[in-house]
Copies of this chain bind each other. A is one copy, B any other.
């Protein structure tokens, strides 16, 4: 549905490029931006500029940072012998919010997905292997445990399996975060696969 105002149509088109933003939402956002006037638009523009200029991948863990090395990689308080492997930089934030993990991270920037044409070489797997290899030359803080915290779906499982085979020859402990019934949920509403996994992964009390 075109507005016959090219600038507005272009903005709506660009906004529909964002994930989860459909045509109608994009229209609503564009109208809001227009109604808010120069002020909001200018702030959004400056924020886009700043992010593009300042934020880049951490060369060690591939999360986002505006420093040379990211806040977590450069911290002296973190346990450098544990590395948690996640799919996306946003996953780091979720795990940090949980507050129980005090090691370092490694962001794969995706998962192996043949259907979407994502091969292991498209991910930061090579960098992970190299990182583990390099750390084993460090006599004080070699990586001793790699914790896989990938999504509990087909792609996550495939990637976990691939990494497990790849890292098995290395002399490190390889673990995966627990899959099971989420906190606060009613068994009645849990799907079969989750319940199946929860049963398999039961722990002794």
Contact = CB atoms under 8 A, between A and B. Distances in A.
Given A19-B28, A25-B20, A28-B90, A34 B8 contact: no
Interface stretch (A9-17, A121-129, A169-177): A9-17
B34 A17 contact: no
Number of chain copies forming the complex: 2
Nearest to A96: B1
A13 B20 CA distance: 18
Interface in A37-58: 38, 40-45, 47-55
B51 A41 contact: yes
B40 A55 contact: no
B89 A11 contact: no
Contact of A11 (B13, B28, B48): B48
A65 to B, nearest CB: 6
Nearest to A18: B29
B45 A48 contact: yes
How many residues of A sit at the interface, in one of the four size bands?
35 or more
A91 to B, nearest CB: 10
A41 B52 contact: yes
A32 B18 contact: yes
Per DSSP, chain A at the interface is: helix
Interface string A64-99: 111000010000000000000000111001000100
Contacts of A25: 20
Nearest to A92: B3
A28 B20 contact: yes
A31 interface: yes
A47 B7 contact: yes
B5 A50 contact: no
A52 B64 contact: no
A69 B43 CA distance: 29
A198 interface: no
A112 to B, nearest CB: 18
